[in-house]
Structure 1
Amino acid sequence: MVMAAACNIVHEYVLIISCLGFIVTLHHLLSLFAWIFRTCFRSEKNLVRTYGSWALVTGATDGIGKAFACELAQRGLNLILVSRTFQKLEAVAREIKAKHPNARVKVVEMDFACGDLSEGLRRLEEAIEGLDVGVLVNNVGITYPSAMFFDEVEESVWRKIVRVNVEGTTRVTKCVLRGMLERRKGAIVNIGSGASVVVPSHPLYTVYAATKAYVDQFSRSLYVEYGQYGIHVQCQVPLYVATNMVSRVACIERDSLFVPTPEAYARAGVEEIGYKPKCTPHWAHSLQWFFAHLIPDPLLDAWRFSIAVRRRNQNQ
Structure 2
Amino acid sequence: MELCDSLSSFKDQPPWILALSALGLLSLLKPSIAALRWLFVSFIRPGKNLARYGSWAVVTGATDGIGRAIAFQLARRGFGLALVGRSPDKLREVSAAIRDKHSDARVETVLIDFAGDLVQGVAMLKKAIAGMDVGILVNNAGMSYPYAKYLHEADEELIKDLIMVNVEGLTRVTHAVLPGMVERKRGAILNIGSGAAIVIPSDPLYDVYAASKAYVDQFSKCLHVEYKDKGIAVQCQVPLYVATKMASIRRSSFFVPSAETYARAALRWIGYEPRCTPYWPHSLIWALISLLPEAVVDKWRLRFCLQIRKRGIQKELKAKEQ
Determine if the TM-score, normalized by the shorter chain, exceeds 0.5: yes
5+ long unaligned stretches in structure 2: 1-13, 314-322
Alignment partner of 1:80 out of 75, 82, 85: 82
Partners of 1:227 and 1:163 in 2: CA distance: 27
Identify the residue that residue 111 of structure 2 maps to in structure 1: 109
- Runs of 4+ residues deviating >3 angstroms: 11-22
Q: Supply the distance in 1 between the matched residues of 2:259 and 2:16 (Cα, whole angstroms).
A: 50
Q: 1:145 to 1:186 in 2, by over 3 A?
A: same
Q: 1:315 — aligned with what?
A: 312
SS, match of residue 43 in structure 1: coil
Larger radius of gyration: 2
Matched, 1:292 2:295: no
CA 1:86–1:18: 2 relative to 1, 3 Å: farther
C-alpha separation in 1, matches of 2:20 and 2:311: 48
Counterpart-to-counterpart distance in 2, 1:112 and 1:266: 22
Q: Report the Cα distance in structure 2 between the residues aligned to 1:71 and 1:215, rounded to whole angstroms.
A: 23
**SS of aligned partner of 1:188:** strand
Does 2:309 match 1:302?
no
- Inter-partner Cα distance in structure 1 for 2:200 and 2:26: 25
Match status 1:41 vs 2:36: no
Structure 1 residues 223-245: Cα deviation after superposition (integer angstroms, max 9, x where no partner):
00011100000000000000011
Matched, 1:219 2:220: yes
Tell me whether 27-36 or 201-210 shows the greater mean CA deviation: 27-36
Which piece of structure 1 moves more, 216-225 or 302-311? 302-311
Match of 1:137, SS?
A: strand
For normalisation by structure 1, the TM-score amounts to 0.91
Using the TM superposition, name which of 261-270 and 288-297 deviates more: 288-297
What CA deviation, in whole Å up to 9, does each residue of 1:193-245 have, x standing for no partner? 00000011000000000000000000000000011100000000000000011
Q: How does 1:1-316 map to 2 (within 5 A)?
A: 19-48=22-51, 50-114=52-116, 116-247=117-248, 252-316=249-313
Distance 2:107 2:312 in 1: 40
Q: Structure 1: which 5+ residue stretches go unaligned?
A: 1-10
AA partner of residue 97 (structure 2): E
CA–CA separation in structure 1 for the residues paired with 2:42 and 2:243: 21
Partner of residue 4, structure 2: none
How far, CA to CA, are the matches of 1:33 and 1:303 in structure 2? 31
- Whole-angstrom distance in 1 between the partners of 2:72 and 2:17: 56
One-letter identity of the residue aligned with 1:295: L
Query: Once structures 1 and 2 are overlaid, which stretch shifts more, 84-93 or 16-25?
Result: 16-25
Deviation at 1:76, TM superposition (A): 1.4
- Determine what percentage of the aligned residue pairs are the same residue: 53
Structure 1 residues 13, 196: CA separation in 2 closer, same or farther (over 3 Å shift)?
farther
What root-mean-square deviation, in Å, do the aligned CA atoms of Structure 1 and Structure 2 show?
1.6
Q: Report the TM-score when normalising by structure 2.
A: 0.90
**CA offsets per residue over residues 106-144 of structure 1, 9 Å max, x none?**
000110011x21211111011100001000000000011
